[in-house]
Structure 1
Amino acid sequence: MTRLVRILLAFSAFALAAPGAARAMGAGDKEVARVVAFGGSCAKCELSGRKLSGARFMGADFSGASLVGADLRDAKFMGSAFTGSDLSGADLSDAQIFGADFTRATLSNAKLQDVEAKGASFREATLNGVNASDLSGVGSIFERASLRNARFSDANLPGVMMVRADGRDSDFSDANLEDSNLSGSRFDGANFRDADLRRATLTGASFVGADFRDTDLRGAMLSGADFSRARHLTQEQIDKACADASTRLPSGLVARGCRGVRVMVRVREAAEAPPAPPAPPAPPANPRHLVAVDIP
């Protein structure tokens, strides 16, 4: 079978042949595995249902692109933009997402199991019904995201930003959410069984009917949060958190301030700021084409 280098033109009929791709054009009688790499601009591209397992998106612009139901297992998203893109029902299992931007993207019912997402942005994204169990999202942003009926069980989400998110009926059982910020969000009916919410900020959030069986709330800030009708919440959990008179609790539970919570403030002397580095040169304009390369 001929080893193929495919060049998909997105906006103009322009052929591009890279040196590495040229080496992949030799004839052979064995089928080789493909590694598909995308770069440049492919805004509003139509790639729904495509088989893109193992693809690499390196600094690419896929804003507004359609990848509905696409197979993106084990794909790598490095510094790429998917703003406003549609990945509904796509399979991103085992993918790596580093510094990628999915602001206002739609990932409803997508599969994100075992995804590694560091510093990724899902601001105002729609992730309703997504399966993100065992996802690692250290420092990722879900501000104002819709996470209704989403599954984040066993997810590792320390320090995540979920401010003003809608996580009603979502599942965070056994998830690590320590030092996260969930303030102003709605998690009514959500499952936080055995979750780690140590030092998390829950101020002004709503947890009506949520399940907190064996949830670790040590040092969590609960001011203004609504836990009315929360299930399996105990006085011991509240005593180890930081609640106040504005915290709404189930009948029989009492907010007793920040008992057992230590607040440490470190003051450092201001150091002289180093000189600012010179501004980097402007990058060249992205080519108006999409490159896919088969690498043996």
Structure 2
Amino acid sequence: MVIALRHLALVAAVCSAFAGAAVAGDKEVTRVNAFGGSCIKCELSGRNLSGARIVGANFSGANLMASDLRDARFLASNFSGADLSKADLSQAAMAGANFTGANLAGARLRATEAGGVVFGSANLSLADLSDVEAAGAQFRRAIMAGVILRAGDVRGGNFESANLSRAVLTDLQGQGANFSRARLSSANLRGADLRGAVFNNVDAGMARFENSDLRGATLGDGSFAKASFRDADLRSANLAGANFDGADMKGSDLRRANLHGTDLSGARGLTQSQLDGACGDSRTRTPRGLTIRACGVRVIIHREIVRTPQSPPAPPAGPRYLITSR
């Protein structure tokens, strides 16, 4: 059956019906597989919305805690401030969606298509985003402590000032991503592709960058105390002004790296041959017995291409959406 919606209020009424079904003990709402309009602050916790098609809808402030949203499509929809904690959004698609300030703590977003999606200031603590496709996504100021982003694609993503402490970012595709002023303490970035990524002013104490590709990356003025860069590729990277007190640099490739003003005095595992390929200045501090040649460096500007999506449009008042039943 196909019902044409002639008034936006009818869509809100349908959302109210979802909430009412919960009171009656009916958690199953898969009878409806496509809807839009406004459902602000709706009560949809624990619902089965797997496979739903949500087009241009406004679910800001809605309660979707522990809901089943697997394989759902959130096209140009607004979930700002919504509660999706412990919800399952695995293999969902979110083109143009807005999750600003949403609560996604403990949620599952495995293999989700989230390219260009806005997660600014959202809570993603302990969420599982393994294999997520989130190139160009916005995570500015997001709370992502303990998040799992294993093998995710966040190329060109913006993590500025995000809290990624204890995050699992192994085998991440993060080329050109911006982590400026982010907190990465005890984060695991082993084997990550971080070419051209920006880590200016980060707090990455005890972070793990073993075997990561940091060619052309910028780590300026960052704190990397006790971090591990074993066998990391830092060729042509900019480490100017960064602190590596107690960091493990064994086997790292520093050829053509900019070490101007870098503090490596407390670094472990460094050899003279590693430093011979890098460039420093009078402010560079090296471990006792090692030296750095003073030389200029060629400045390579990596222009970050971050795809910023447009804000999700407000649901139209006209008869535009369809609700279909299975």
Category of TM-score, reference length = shorter chain = 0.7 to 0.9
* Residues 35 and 216 (structure 1), Cα distance of their counterparts in 2 relative to 1, 3 Å cut: same
C-alpha displacement of 1:99: 1.5
> Residues of 2 paired with 1:201 and 1:121: CA distance?
19
Residues 36 and 295, structure 1, Cα contact 8 Å, conserved in 2: no
Query: 2: distance between equivalents of 1:246 and 1:23?
Result: 57
Query: Taking every aligned residue pair, what percent have the same amino acid on both sides?
Result: 34
Q: Is the 8 A contact 1:114 1:133 kept in 2?
A: yes
- Give TM-score scaled by structure 1 length: 0.78
Q: Unaligned 5+ residue runs, structure 2?
A: 16-30, 35-48, 268-286, 302-311
Alpha-carbon distance between aligned partners in 2 of 1:23 and 1:212, rounded to the nearest angstrom: 49
Q: 2:144 aligns with which of 127, 130, 135?
A: 127
* 2-structure distance, mates of 1:92, 1:167: 21
Asked if the contact 2:216/2:236 (under 8 Å) is kept, the reply is yes
Q: Judge conservation of contact 2:234–2:255 (CA < 8 Å) in 1.
A: no
What is the one-letter code of the residue matched to 1:208?
Answer: A
| Residue equivalent to 1:38 | 54
Is 239-248 or 65-74 further displaced after alignment? 239-248
**Does residue 189 of the first structure (1) align with residue 226 of the second (2)?**
no
Q: Is the 8 A contact 1:37 1:293 kept in 2?
A: no
1:13-36 CA-to-partner distances (Å, cap 9, x unmatched) read 268xxxxx9999xxxxxxxx9621
Task: Please name the residue that 1:78 is paired with.
Answer: 95
Decide whether the 8 Å contact of 1:244 with 1:255 is kept in 2. Answer: no
Cα distance in 2 for partners of 1:210, 1:264 equals 25
Give the secondary-structure state (helix, strand or coil) at the position aligned to 2:74: strand
After superposition, where does 1:163-182 map in structure 2 within 5 Å? 163-182=180-199
* Gap runs ≥5 in structure 1: 16-20, 25-32, 266-282
Q: Could you tell me how far apart the structure 1 residues matched to 2:195 and 2:85 are?
A: 33
Q: Structure 2: how far apart are the matches of 1:214 and 1:168? A: 20
- Once the two structures are TM-superposed, the CA of residue 286 in structure 1 deviates from its matched residue by 1.9
* Aligned AA (1:13): A
**Match for residue 293 of structure 2 among 256, 273, 295:** 256
**Cα distance, 1:245 vs structure 2:** 3.1
Task: Tell me how many residue pairs correspond in the alignment.
Answer: 259
Give me the whole-angstrom Cα distance separating, in 1, the residues matched to 2:179 and 2:105: 21
Q: Secondary structure at the match of 1:76?
A: coil
Contact 1:164 / 1:182 at 8 angstroms: preserved in 2? Answer: yes
Q: Provide the C-alpha distance between the structure 2 equivalents of 1:171 and 1:87, rounded to a whole number of angstroms.
A: 21
- Work out whether residues 138 and 156 of structure 1, in 8 Å CA contact, stay in contact via their aligned partners in 2: yes
Preserved CA contact (<8 Å) 1:152 1:173: yes
Q: Is the 8 A contact 1:243 1:256 kept in 2?
A: no
CA distance in 2, matches of 1:52, 1:23: 11
Q: What is the deviation of 1:126?
A: 0.6
Q: CA 1:13–1:186 in 2, change beyond 3 Å: closer, same or farther? A: same
User: What is the aligned counterpart of 1:158 among 172, 175, 178?
Assistant: 175
TM-score relative to the length of structure 2: 0.71
- What amino acid sits opposite 2:203 in the alignment? R
Residue equivalent to 1:13: 13
Cα displacement string for residues 107-140 of structure 1 (whole angstroms, at most 9, x for unaligned residues) = 0000010000021100000111011100011111
Q: 1:34 and 1:62, CA in 2 relative to 1: closer, same or farther beyond 3 A?
A: closer
Inter-partner Cα distance in structure 2 for 1:284 and 1:206? 41
Match of 1:18 in 2: none
What is the Cα deviation at residue 167 of structure 1? Answer: 0.4
Read off the aligned partner of 2:261 and give its amino acid letter: A
Larger mean Cα displacement after TM superposition, 180-189 or 250-259 = 250-259
Give per-residue Cα distances to partners, 1:181-211, cap 9 Å, x unaligned. 0000011000000000000000000110001
**After superposition, where does 1:275-290 map in structure 2 within 5 Å?**
285-287=314-316
Classify the secondary structure of the residue corresponding to 1:38. strand
Q: Please, which of 258, 261, 265 is the counterpart of residue 245 of structure 1?
A: 261
For residues 11 and 86 of structure 1, what CA distance do their matches in structure 2 show? 24
Candidates 68, 79, 87, aligned match of 2:85: 68
Q: Which sits farther off after the overlay, 250-259 or 88-97?
A: 250-259
Per-residue deviation, 1:246: 4.0
Is contact 1:114-1:134 (8 Å) kept? yes
1:139-158 pair list within 5 angstroms = 139-158=156-175
Q: Contact 2:142–2:163 (CA<8 Å) still a contact in 1?
A: yes
Confirm or deny: 8 A CA contact 2:77 2:313 kept in the other structure.
no
